[in-house]
């Protein structure tokens, strides 16, 4: 594994490093607190069980199950012992350019999508084959045109299989504005959570009423402002415990807690242990990590990712992506 990534911003700014509109990676995911991004996300659980929380509900997804998260849809991931996930994130631009209307298309489905493919034999396996083939080629650094063609083929399969909801500008624009506002607010919180930070300060900065700002957090991320800032401070403390040798008092101060006893009580509540025991659990080297931060993600290296993806793709070799166009687009003589 390359390392432990402690995510700072709960609005996720996705960087498409190679292909302008595609970001693909394998991740060992313990948990990811509520966040939001503009990209459509298609994910496959390769190992373990992943709980996806979105729209006020929790969905448990097992091995070989796939999920979809629409653009600007707040979501959270939780997995007690960790889940290995293949994530494919697509910026809307290349697909929106084909739609000659003012409406925005969204997949009308809960995160687990396998049932939508039950009426067509082999279509779900084709989905997994396409995803793994695209991911393998993208990580290898194959032709960007090839990757975009496969992404378009994949997008077509999803559109032909899963119900699509259209949003008019009347519905879409307010959603977009809320997202942009949330970006500004959470970026400011992420930069200032380690000092005394009041909702009134942010409301004045954003030109919002306390009522409006409070509901922005609750309605979009499903938690209050106070709950959000506590999570940020707690996660920062977990990061410092895992990556530094700072003493507990200094960690408490650096994380924005006014009293080390409050930090201790949060660890007792969340993990049933003290901060020192949490640190010992991370360094014990046991097979199971009992004390893990809520926003830890382990990203395998390129070589490790390919070692995971190639066997996965071989399982669906009879549905090879090279045949996808013939299977999806029924050309007639």
| List of domains in the chain | 4-168+296-328 (2.60.120.10), 170-283 (1.10.10.60)
Q: What is the pLDDT of residue 309?
A: 95
Q: How far is CA 201 from the centre of its chain?
A: 29
Residues 99-129: pLDDT tens digits? 544 447 889 998 899 999 988 888 899 999 9
Q: Which of 132, 162, 148, 157 is nearest to 316 (CA)?
A: 132
Residues 3-30: pLDDT tens digits? 444 444 444 544 445 456 889 999 988 7
**Regions in the chain scoring below 70 on pLDDT:** 1-20, 80, 93-103, 282-297, 318-333
Q: Given its phi and psi angles, is residue 9 left (phi above 0), alpha (psi -120 to 50 degrees) or beta?
A: beta
The pair of structure tokens assigned to 137 is 């080629």
Q: What is the pLDDT of residue 61?
A: 95
Q: What is the pLDDT of residue 37?
A: 82
Q: Which helix (H) or strand (E) holds 265?
A: helix 260-271
How far is residue 202's CA from residue 206's CA, in Å, rounded to a whole number?
6
Buried b (16+ CB within 10 A) or exposed e, 109-122: bebbbeebbeeeee
Residue pair 45/78 in contact (Cβ under 8 Å)? The answer is no
How far is residue 333's CA from residue 327's CA, in Å, rounded to a whole number?
15
Q: How far is CA 21 from CA 71, 75, 93, 149, 254, in A?
A: 13, 21, 7, 12, 37
How far is residue 50's CA from residue 86's CA, in Å, rounded to a whole number?
12
Residue pair 146/333 in contact (Cβ under 8 Å)? The answer is no
């Amino acid at each position: 594994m390359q390392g432990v990534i402690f995510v700072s911003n709960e609005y996720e700014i996705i960087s498409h490093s190679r292909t302008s509109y595609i970001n693909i990676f394998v991740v060992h995911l313990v948990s990811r607190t509520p966040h939001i991004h503009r990209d459509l996300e298609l994910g496959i659980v390769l190992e373990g069980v992943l709980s996806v929380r979105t729209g006020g509900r929790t969905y448990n997804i097992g091995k070989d199950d796939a999920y979809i998260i629409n653009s600007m849809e707040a979501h959270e991931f939780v997995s007690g012992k960790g889940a290995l996930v293949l994530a494919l994130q697509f910026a809307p631009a290349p697909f929106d350019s084909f739609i000659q209307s003012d409406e925005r298309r969204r997949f009308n489905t809960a995160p687990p999508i396998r049932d939508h493919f039950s009426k067509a034999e082999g279509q779900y396996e084709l989905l997994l084959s396409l995803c793994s083939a695209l991911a393998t080629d993208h990580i290898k650094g194959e032709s960007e045109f090839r990757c975009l063609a496969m992404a378009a083929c994949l997008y077509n399969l999803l559109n032909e299989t899963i119900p699509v909801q259209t949003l008019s500008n009347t519905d879409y624009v307010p959603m977009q504005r809320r997202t942009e506002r949330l970006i500004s607010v959470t970026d400011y919180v992420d930069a200032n959570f380690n000092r005394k930070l009041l909702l009134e300060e942010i409301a004045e900065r954003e030109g919002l009423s306390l009522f409006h700002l409070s509901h922005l957090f609750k309605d979009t991320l499903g938690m209050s402002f106070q709950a959000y800032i506590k999570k940020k401070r707690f996660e920062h403390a977990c990061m410092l415990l895992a990556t530094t040798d700072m003493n507990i008092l200094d960690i408490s101060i650096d994380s924005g807690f006014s009293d080390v006893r409050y930090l201790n009580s949060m660890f007792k509540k969340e993990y049933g242990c003290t901060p020192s025991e949490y640190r010992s659990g991370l360094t014990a080297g046991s097979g199971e990590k009992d004390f893990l931060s809520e926003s830890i993600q382990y990203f395998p290296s390129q070589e490790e990712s390919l070692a995971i993806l190639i066997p996965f793709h071989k399982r669906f070799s009879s549905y090879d992506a090279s045949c996808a166009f013939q299977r999806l687009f029924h050309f007639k003589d």
